[in-house]
Structures are given as structure tokens and as C-alpha cells.
Structure 1
Amino acid sequence: MLDLTSASLTALAAGLAAGTFTSRQLADHYLDRIRRLDGALNAFVLVDEAGARHLAEAADRRRAAGYPLGPLDGLPIAVKDLCDIRGQVTTAGSHAWRERVAQETAPVVSRLVAAGMVLLGKTQMVEFAFGGWGTNPHLGTPLNPWDLAEPRIPGGSSSGSGVAVAAGLVPAALGSDTGGSVRIPATANGVTGLKTSRGRIEAAGTIPLSPTLDTIGFLARTAEDALLLTEAVRTGAGQGGPVTPAPQADPARPLAGIRIAALDPADYPVPVHADVRSATVAAEETFRALGASVETVRVPFDFLRLMTANGVIIAAEAYAYHGGQIDEPGLRFGEGVRTRVLSGRAIAASDYLAALAYHAEMQALWRRWCGQYHALLTPGLADPAVPLSDVAEDMSSPAVFTRAGNFVDATGLALPAGFSQGGLPVGIQLLGAPASERFLAGLGSAFQRVTDWHLRTPDLRALAA
């Protein structure tokens, strides 16, 4: 029997094709799970039960008539609440925007619906997508499902998307990533996250944080699922290489010929938890066993400098978009987000332009470096999900490994890679060349064929009781 809590989109698609269940039955299953569990988890800001059932029934009618739209037809998904859907409220995580009704639907959402997907609702997020811990003081912070005793960070800014997938409320969810906002919640919640490179998925109709750095991505159970979604909505030119590396003579070593770079732990830009270091080393060995060459190297850039410059661009552009309202005393903005947005006002034009110039320089350097290596493997987060009580709004972002990917315009893939001694998920990140979503997903799929970290799910029986 297929366990729907941990089922991948591809497994669900096979079940629909075989007549094991209908799309309406799938939708009802996940809607019931949301109804029972999300009061505690707070992953969703909006659940559209009537709309979901309408879409599911339409998919069932198409399938019964012999006209399914494709592999995603009839499968459930949730979208981050920065995507406009005509007639629905888009809060972008802000209490001040709780009555902002969208006039049009974002193209990325329209393409999901055109592929036949069943939209269950919108997921919670950090206000204006400006934060990596996943906290939201006014609309509520989603509960990381791996520790029900002590609330821990869900990761941000796609916090609700990460929690919803990890908790089995939905098999996949859309997110966005400006400095790690897909990869951080994927790592913190033990799911897979694929960050596309800039322009690969149209961002129109999504609330911007930094147009220079914003990208769209997906959180899902597997790398194969994340790629399937990406391909359904992708608009960027080029195919980005094969789904998997070229076939090898030895099927036990499918990644023969692939060169992966890894960091010496002594060169990590920040201290990294021992359990994260161990999982990263184990992942390196797994890739070696699959035939890849994993070489310890020194990367030609400084993670901390890239993180800082990335932050300059984000703050300046966030203030350009939100500055007209962020000072209004009658609007309830989170003080942490308000402070971060207002920090953009103090950034001199010369500093912003210097950060943009450095951004262009590092993009060119990354493209050259990718001529030597197919991917860079790093930890996803320096620590397993920390308790919310340890987080202060003025703390540095947890995005030290992930922001570099946005700054050099890498494709990024977060993969579950183990658990801490306390039972919290830990993960790795693969960074690849721009437009290499298919290739990176191939590496991730090879890794997930010989590991089962991505199939583990949290025990939520206490919430369901």
C-alpha cells in the first residue's frame, strides 16, 4: 500500500494512472490531513477546499475520457503566499496586507493549473520573504514538525511550504529563493528543494524582494519531483543538460566521470555542527561510491563576502519596493522585517552599484569555475534546526552557505542527508552552473536511489490524537 504521507508525485501519478485512487480522493485525503493537523502546524495561510475539489474532479473527468494533460494532471500542490491568484488575498506574509486581493494570476501558478495540478491553498512565509529563520510575529511561525516538544525554526522564507511537505499535508509546494528561501526550509524540514537559476521560471505576479536575485523553486519529496515541476513551468531558454549524466558501462557507478568539489571543513566560513559535518562527509562518500570524483578544493570566492554583498542588494531593492509603506505607523509590520527593510535606506548608491559590479564579476567567475567541476557540495545549514527561543531578530542570517548560490546565479539543490543525534534532519547543498536544473536533479536522483533520508517522515500522532 502506498503511504500518501511520504509519497512522491511520481508515485501518486502512477496510482492515478492505475486507477488505485482518483484525484478527488487524493485531494480529500490531503485536505482532511490539513484540517486535522494544520491548526498546530500553521503551514497554510489559506486552504481552498472548494477550488481544490473542483480542479480534482475536472482532472478525473479528463482521465476518464482518455485525455489526461500529462504527468502532473490531478496531483495536489500548494503555493507560497507571495504568488498572486486572481480573486484571492496575497499577504506576502504581512498582516498589513491581509486584505490585498490579487487582480491577476501569476504565470507560474497559471502554468501549474494548465498542467492539471490541484491547488490546495497558500502557505505561510516570512513577511515579504525577508528572513531565513522562518519566523513571523503576526501571522504565526509554522511549527517544524520534527520536534513537537520544543518549537524549532522551520527555515525561511518559504517556511510553510517546507513544513507542509515534511508533514505530509501536500506532496509538493512552490517556494521562492533570494538567498536560500527554498533550500533553508528544505534542509530544516528534511525535504528536497530545487532553486532554479535566475529567469528560468517567470517571476511576474510574485511579490518581489530583490528583482536582481529572486528565483522561483520547488520543495518536494524527491529531486525527480522537483525537476518535474520545474520543467512544467520553466520559461528560461535552454535545456540545461540531460536529466542524468551520460550512461556509463558500469550501472553500479552511474556518476563515473562526474567531478564534484567539496570544502575542507577547516575552510567552512562558520563553525558547523558535528552532526552536519558527519552527514556531509557521508554524502561525499556516497557520491564516490556512485562513481563520482569528489575532490576537496578551495573555492575561488569568500562565502562571507558574498553573503554580505548579497545582503546589500536585497536590502536596497527591498527598500525600493516597500519603502513607501514601511514607515507608516498604522500598519502592523514585524519589527525585524521593518528594520531590515529600513536598512536599505542607508545604503549609498555607490555601495549598491559596487555590490552589483561584484555580483557580475562573481557570476562570470562561477561560469568559468563550472568548466572544471560539475557541482560544489556544501552543508545546507551549519546547524540542525535551532529552537525558536534561541532566535533573535537581529541575529545574522542562517544563509551563509545558501546566499552564495544566488549571488553567483548557481542552480541549487538541497538534499536530505541524515539526522542529528537529537533526531533532527540535516542536509547538503549542491550548487551547479546556471540552467543546470536537469543535471543537478540527476545527481540528486542518483543519491536518493541509494539513500532513504528523503523518505523519512516525522511522527505526528500526538497532533492527530
Structure 2
Amino acid sequence: MQPHLTMVQTASKLREGSLDAVELVSIAIGKSREARGVFISLDDSALDAAGQSAQRRRFGAPLSPLDGIPFAVKDMIDVAGMRTTAGSTTRIDSPPATRDAAVIAAMRAMGMIPVGKTNLSEFAYSGLGLNPHFGTPTADFHANAPRVPGGSSSGSAIAVQRGIVTAAIGTDTAGSIRVPAAFNGLVGFRASTGRYDMHGVLPLAVTLDSLGPLARTVEDCVLLDGAMRGRMDRPASPTPLAQLRFIVDSPVFADAALEAAVAANLRQAAARLRQCGASVEVRPVRTLMRTRESIEAHGWLGAIEAWRLLRPVVEGERGGQVDRRIRNRLVAAKALDRQAQARIRALRAELMLSMLHELDGALLITPTVKHVAPLLAALEDDDDWFATSNLATLALTMPGSLLDMPGVAMPSGVDEQGLPTSLLICAPRGHDDRLLRACLAVESALQAR
């Protein structure tokens, strides 16, 4: 199998004229029709948009270097003329969106072309990515024993992993970009909540909901981040590793649930960063421990907000259509009271400030997930295992979401079966640009390894 192009490589071929937008979009649409469960719907206007892009290129007037590049959109985000289903048949007859979400409009203004809406965990409420209504998308590197794609942005990740598109957009409330990136050997960027205009994005838990790109490289994610904000500045330059400090949270290595390959690959990555001149400490991050304790003691803020939003659906006449596993998780949040929410919010503000001070300019490194992608069949057949595995899968991403820490998940290696492992680099809230510049340098160092 030939390696798939990155978005940067695709942009270069478009500029040179060795590819054109019509070819790219035609291939993407053809592949999407063959890939079971990846897309919920396709954009009928994509080929027309590709023709317009190709004409702009012929006249030497592209809208941006990304003009003509197709991308996939998680079906929580409005695309004009298309339904936003949230992966649920309860919304299958909702009217099409009359306008693009703000981030989609910004990307179209760069000439980028949405080719379709991707599948997801129903209502974006699971870290595993199963969907009984539209099928569960799976990666093509373990077809004989399919693994879960990770959720909730499952279709967005698999669309990139399978080479249908070079880039996709997802949402992330508790790990929904970072987890599918980890399970599929991709890079995923969960931004601070204020970084993108959320107009036209279907909410799940408004305090924690964020957006971000999924792609093959950090470099691609940086370009996509700019496009989502309507910016095409000079490409960000990597921060020299000698100027960077990292803290690896040491207690994770004592966790019995941490798989050996995940631990070994994280240690090797840390060693490589040291070799390249970075400062790498391995020690406990107390604020991270306190955040985990808060979630365990008081409950998950995202569950409280999701139940409030989706209760009318779950308890309404169409409630029986909701995936039972998702419905059970939502109903479980009903027991969390208003006092719990107030306690969580107060402690959250304190913990966010504490993390800023404790890191003191350093970046936090953990595994993205403690394990590689679990087998799909086992989770389809056992609801109790599904619930247990879902919590385990989100255990390392939920604290960052609660603290609104931007995070980049990137490949750290593979296990003995060839399944991807991933590390997660996080910064305090609002330090997105600093994080991305650092991750450009980390990617370069790890690729050289």
C-alpha cells in the first residue's frame, strides 16, 4: 500500500499542477462510497466547488495555498444544504442547515471543499466510536480483527486514516478528537474552548465543547487550525527543543491499566526529546491528580450538561431509538445534582489556575490513552464491558478537558501487533499557539528517531 499524502504534500501538488481539485474530490467521493460507516452523507455540491477551484488555479488566482483540498466534517457541525444528524436517527428528518458553521465558512473562504459529513458516536457521547445506526467505521490496518475507531469523532479519523481525505474536522468534549487520533496513528488537536467560533456546532456540553483538526502531521493540523480561524499567516515555525521544558506525569507508569507498549514508547519519546536538547522531568503533577480525584468524587461536568441538553430526547417519544449504551450513560447522569455542578465549577476554576502555576511554562506529557484500540466485537456484545472500556479510554483526556487545556495527540510508536500508541502534549488554557509550535519541534524529533 502506498503511503497517503499529507495535506502539505497535496497542496504542493496542486500548486505544481500534478493534481487538480476535480481529481482529488472525485477520488474522495469514490472512496467514501466504498468505506462502510465512515460517512453519513455526501455533499452534492463538492464536485462543482472542485471545478471552480480548478479554474481559479488555471487563472493563477487560488484563494489560498489550500484551495481545492477536500476535507471531511463531523456530523455535529453544520454544512449548508446538509442535515446535522449527530449520528442519531432521532434527527434523521431534521431540516438541512441553511448556512455553514463559522469554521466551515472560514475554510470555504480558503477554497477548501467539504465532501461530506462523517459518522460518530451518537450525540458525540462515547470515546469508543460505535454507532449501531450508521455502522461503525474501522481502520484498514486491522481488517481481520476490527478494532474500535475511537470516538466520538470516529468517521473523521477513519476518513483520514484510510486516505479518503487528508484532513477532517472533529469536536472534542472529553477526548473525542484525541482518542480517535491515538487509535489510528494520527495527529489530533483539541483547542482551548475559545479558539474557534462555535456558531453552527451542535452542542453536547457547552462548557467543555471544543473543535479541532485530525490529520497525518502536526504541520497539517497547524495549517488547518489557521484555516478554521480564517487565517493563512506565515506558517508557524517550531520552537527549538533546547528552549522547551516538558513534564511527564510519573504516576501513570505505576497504573496497572497502562499497557507495556504505551509505557515503553512514551519513555522512548521522552528520551529522544532529551537527546535533542529539551528539558524533560518525570515527576508527579499534583494538579492533574487533584483533577482526576475531583472527577471521581463529584462526577463529570460534561455528563451533567449533556443530560440537561438531551433529556427531552431520551425521555421523549423517540427515546427508544437512542443507542441503549448511550442512553444508559446519559440517564446515569440524572442522579448528579445542582450542588455537585456548583462544586465542580468552583474547583475547576481553582485547578485551572493551579495547573498554570505548577507547569510554570513547561508542557505536560502523558499517554493519550492507556491502551491500544480494543477489539470491536467484544464491545458490541457486552454492554458492561463497553461502559468500563469507555471510562478507561477517556481517563487521560477528561482531566485536560475539565481544565480546558489545549492538547495535541501524536503517534509515539506501535505495539507488538502493529497497533498505534500515542502521546498527549498539553498546555494551560489559551496557550494553543505555544503548544503547536512546540509540537512541530517534537514531531520533527520523533520522526527523525
TM-score (norm 1): 0.89
What amino acid sits opposite 1:119 in the alignment?
P
* Separation (CA, whole Å) in 1 of partners of 2:27 and 2:230: 32
Q: How does 1:18-167 map to 2 (within 5 A)?
A: 18-36=16-34, 38-39=35-36, 42-48=37-43, 50-101=44-95, 102-167=97-162
- Structure 1 distance, partners of 2:140, 2:93, is 29
Q: Secondary structure at the match of 2:51?
A: helix
Whole-Å separation in 2 of the counterparts to 1:186 and 1:275 = 17
In 2 relative to 1, CA 306–233 (structure 1 residues): closer, same or farther, beyond 3 Å? farther
Deviating 4+ runs (over 3 angstroms): 265-270, 306-311, 450-454
Give 1:268 shift.
Answer: 5.1
Map of 1:463 onto structure 2: none
Task: Tell me if structure 2 keeps the 8 A contact 1:47–1:121.
Answer: yes
Which runs of no fewer than 5 residues in structure 1 stay unpaired? 246-253, 455-465
CA offsets 1:205-249 (integer angstroms, 9 cap, x no match):
11111100011011001101111111122389xx9x96422xxxx
Distance across 2 between alignment mates of 1:11 and 1:329: 49
CA distance in 1, matches of 2:148, 2:310: 25
For 1:52-451, what aligned pairs fall within 5 Å after superposition?
52-101=46-95, 102-234=97-229, 243-245=237-239, 254-264=240-250, 271-301=257-287, 302=289, 304-308=292-296, 312-331=300-319, 332-373=321-362, 375-391=363-379, 392-395=385-388, 396-397=390-391, 398-451=393-446
| d(CA) in 2 for partners of 1:266, 1:126 | 27
How many pairs were matched up? 436
- RMSD of aligned Cα (Å): 2.3
- What is the CA–CA distance in structure 1 between the aligned matches of 2:4 and 2:448, rounded to whole Å? 11
CA contact (8 A) 2:204 2:306 kept: yes
Aligned-pair CA distance for 1:453? 10
Change (3 A) 1:177 1:26: same
Q: Call closer, same or farther: CA 1:366–1:234 in 2, change over 3 Å.
A: farther
Q: Percent identity?
A: 32
Distance 1:280 1:163 in 2: 24
Aligned equivalents of 1:266, 1:198: Cα separation in 2: 26
**Cα separation, partners in 2 of 1:274 and 1:89, compared to 1, 3 Å:** same
Residues 352 and 428, structure 2, Cα contact 8 Å, conserved in 1: no
Contact 1:210 1:318 in 2 (8 A): yes
Counterpart for residue 9 of structure 1 = 7
CA distance in structure 1 between the partners assigned to 2:448 and 2:32 by the alignment = 24
Label 1:43 to 1:262 Cα distance change in 2 as closer, same or farther (>3 A): same
Distance across 2 between alignment mates of 1:453 and 1:80: 32
- Tell me if the contact between 2:258 and 2:371 (Cα under 8 Å) persists in the aligned partners: yes
Secondary structure of residue in 1 paired with 2:412: strand
- Does the 8 Å contact 2:252/2:258 carry over to 1? no
Q: Deviations over 1:381-401 (max 9, x none)?
A: 111111123333432421111
CA contact 1:310–1:407 (8 Å) conserved in 2: no
SS at match of 1:406: helix
Counterparts of 1:204 and 1:194 in 2: how far apart (Å)?
Answer: 19
TM-aligned CA distance change 1:45 to 1:265, over 3 Å: same
User: How far does the alpha carbon of each residue in 1:336-387 deviate from its partner, in whole angstroms, 9 at most, with x for none?
Assistant: 11122222322111001111111111111122223241x1111111111111
DSSP-derived class of the 1:244 partner:
coil
Kindly indicate which of the two structures has a greater share of residues assigned to helix: 2
Partner deviation per Cα, 1:169-213 (whole Å, 9 max, x = no partner): 110100011111000000001100011001101122111111000
Distance in 1 (alpha carbons) for counterparts of 2:109 and 2:246:
37
Residues 80 and 306 of structure 1: is their aligned pair in 2 closer, same or farther, counting only changes over 3 Å?
A: farther
| Aligned equivalents of 1:198, 1:151: Cα separation in 2 | 33
Q: Aligned in 2, Cα 1:406/1:136: closer, same or farther, shift over 3 Å? A: same
Task: Say which SS state the counterpart of residue 243 (structure 2) adopts.
Answer: coil
Closer/same/farther in 2, CA of residues 136 and 118 from structure 1, 3 Å limit: same
- Tell me the SS of whatever aligns to 2:261: helix
Provide the C-alpha distance between the structure 1 equivalents of 2:325 and 2:298, rounded to a whole number of angstroms: 18
- Mind listing any 5+ residue stretches in structure 2 that lack a counterpart? 380-384
- Aligned-pair distance for 1:63? 1.7
Closer/same/farther in 2, CA of residues 340 and 266 from structure 1, 3 Å limit: closer
Q: TM-score, normalised by structure 2?
A: 0.92
**Quick check: 1:218–1:229 contact (8 Å CA) kept in 2?**
yes
